[in-house]
Structure 1
Amino acid sequence: MRADASDFMGSGHIMRCLTLAEALAKKNVQTTFICRDWPGHMQEQIEARGFPVVLLPSLPLQAKQQIELSDDTTWLGCDFDTDAQQTINALKTMYSEHACVDLLVVDHYGIDIRWESLLQKYYRQLFVIDDLANKSHICDVLLDQTFQRQSNDYHELVPKDSRILCGTKYALLKETFTQLPVNVINIDTTSTVEPLRIFIFLGGSDPLNKTAEAITAITAITSIDDTNAGIHIDLVLGAQNKHADAISKIIKNSLLKIQVYRNVENMAELMSHSDIAIGAAGTSSWERCCLGLPSLVFVYADNQSMISEQLLQANAVKIWKTAEELNQQVQLLLNDASLRKEMSLAAKKVCDGKGTERVVNALLSLITFK
């Protein structure tokens, strides 16, 4: 699997590849990750899940400074020829000079048909994971798990015989998300039982420290409204989050009941006990939807805008840009159980959580592993 994580791009690509790798492992498929040596590359976390990692060389400081969050074409950190050759060298080291892998999985916004063409003799089948529908690929199978994505969006971008898997029907979620009860969907709209629980996770890196804004916004609510003083917060800090010290100071000055988690393995369980989520508009959107969790989302990058807008139209989320907007939206949801239930039911319709099984079955039915 060729995918990257870093402090600036977050962990979403690696996390969904890990979900796929674990599901394939149950079918006796061995997986190795090839990742760039970025700050926040997640090698330790990947290896802890049982998968080898080969790190491509670290880039010079100048190259790192040219990376733009809003321009995914820069996310390789170098030209595609260089990255392709380094990936080929890694494959030769792993599998000998002439061996090729049965399946190459690419989950990277910086990779397109030019890179894939250079690797062709080193893989038997190519599986591309994309969200943007703005680049050409020569893949055998393509996955875009974006809500309401249509296969027609890729017909001019992939070979005619490529199989295209589109929509949240194929969202790559861990199986734990389908094994837990969905508490929020059974909200009693006449009940005033407290406390409510808020789940906060703003991505693997949260480069803008929106976590601090979220805590501050909720603290402001409870300071003027005693009815919400019993709120319990489950706060997850991603592996690449660099703001832990600043967040700790805010928590110490807050009267809120806040439980902080790092290196979380039971994300689905934490979500399932929550009434509201505050999160990023990325791949974790499908996790929250699967559990029917009403969500207030922040859009970090342009490539998340379509996802968030479509979920907004479906009434599964509300979008916030400033702390003031978040403050208002949290108050609204805390005080309106009917709205929470309405959003919960809408979110649950978006994703059933069985996408990983469908993707694995599609891959195994198309690919003969030798």
Structure 2
Amino acid sequence: MNHLLFRADGNAQLGMGHVMRCLALADMLKGEFAMKFAITDPTPAVQSLIESAGLTVLPLPDSADKAAFWGDVHSENIVVLDGYSFDETFQRAVRARVRKLVFIDDLIHGHQVADVVINHSGGIAQGKYNTASYTQLYLGPHYAMLRPEFFRSEGFSTPPPDGPIFVSLGGADPYNTSLTVLEAIRQVDATLPVQIVLGPFHPDRASIESFKNQLPNLSILQNLSAAQMMDALQQCSLAITACSTIAYEVCAINRPLIAVVTADNQTQLAHFLSEEKLALSVNFPTLLTRSIPVIGLDKMIRLSIQSFQFSPETVEETLANQRRFFDGQSPERFRMLFQELSA
């Protein structure tokens, strides 16, 4: 059997985006590769998450010494890197030791020397990349790295009009943007049903719990499986999420979406969701200042909720655009790609 080695990190500072993309890709390739996951100093929760996905965890020391990783790399490996510290020098060193190198990117920065670069953000022209002559680029939502529960060839049902508002601001949410979103919902209607999903590194669950006094129909969920997340999204009438992979999961299930930029690396995805009208209220200041003064995030979200409430045409346009980009065929594309790499 072919061997696939993932290298990414996830914690309270970095968030879980790199790890979750790798696990989604691993699930699509399950049964075709023996898979391991090298990660720096994983917490018990993160290690359990990776092991529950069927991958062997290779813990690395929390240091800049790359020797520990080289000991896990073998010439028959296909290695997948996902992280901002894996620059050209690191990529060259890995590629010299392995069968093929794949780099998962979302910054479009530096010179890429991996055999394959994957960036599932939309609206990226291949000419934006500076790559080696042999590097193959796989770009856009047709290569969305989502968990298998979010791919259905028959599609998903229409949004229930009276479903709750779904809220998820990522695995870490270091600035507790969740609380700002809840305040925006309260400004619209304090009686609205709301389901909020907190990530494993949320900094202040107590503040969310205390907000139940102002949103009596607030339900707080944490550490959901992919199947549970899919069920929650199917039940919702509107989703408010970070402008990250969770936004793509909403688009794949086909629900009205308000996407909020919570980190600098979400800029490209923010452009795409906004320009292609897949979501409302992408909190991207340079876009906003072209037409209106920058206003508070709570007010921006409040106005976006009201826009969906009072404009069925906006909802229909958003859902139609989502279906145009998310066709459910990503797993087949990735299996074909990695079969070619292992041939």
- The alignment's TM-score, normalised by the length of structure 1, stands at 0.81
Return the match for 1:217 from 184, 189, 203.
Answer: 184
In the other structure, the counterpart of 2:287 is none
Distance 2:220 2:201 in 1: 19
- 1:2 corresponding residue in structure 2: 7
Task: Tell me the residue number matched to 2:197.
Answer: 236
Match of 2:332 in 1: 357
Residue of structure 1 aligned with 2:98, choices 100, 104, 123: 123
- Is 1:292 aligned with 2:254? yes
Q: Is the 8 A contact 2:79 2:101 kept in 1?
A: yes
**1:1-370 aligned within 5 A:** 1-27=6-32, 29-37=33-41, 42-59=46-63, 78=64, 82=65, 84-91=66-73, 99-154=74-129, 156-157=130-131, 159-179=132-152, 181-184=155-158, 195-223=162-190, 229=191, 231-266=192-227, 267-318=229-280, 319-320=282-283, 322-368=297-343
Retained in 1: the 8 A contact 2:162–2:237? Answer: no
Q: Does the 8 A contact of 2:146 with 2:245 survive in 1?
A: no
Gaps of 5+ in 2: 1-5, 284-295
TM-fit CA distance, 1:126: 0.5
Q: Secondary structure at the match of 2:113?
A: coil
Encode CA deviations 1:195-245: one digit per residue, 9 max, x unaligned.
33211111111111111111122122214xxxxx3x322221112212212
Consecutive unaligned residues of structure 1, counting only runs of 5 or more, are 60-77, 92-98, 188-193, 224-228
CA-based RMSD: 2.2
Q: In 1, Cα distance between the equivalents of 2:208 and 2:218?
A: 14
**Which residue identity does 2:29 align to in structure 1?**
L
What is the distance in 2 between the residues matched to 1:269 and 1:255?
Answer: 22
- Looking at structure 2, the residues matched to 50 and 150 of structure 1 have their Cα atoms a distance apart, in angstroms, of 35
The match for 1:65 is none
CA distance in 2 between partners of 1:356 and 1:148 (Å): 21
Larger Rg: 1
Runs (4+) of structure 1 moved beyond 3 Å? Answer: 38-41
1:117-176 CA deviation, whole Å, 9 max, x = no partner? Answer: 22234311111111122122221111111102222222x32x212221111111112222
State the AA in 2 paired with 1:234: Q
Report the number of matched residues.
Answer: 323
Q: Tell me the TM-score normalised to structure 2 length.
A: 0.87
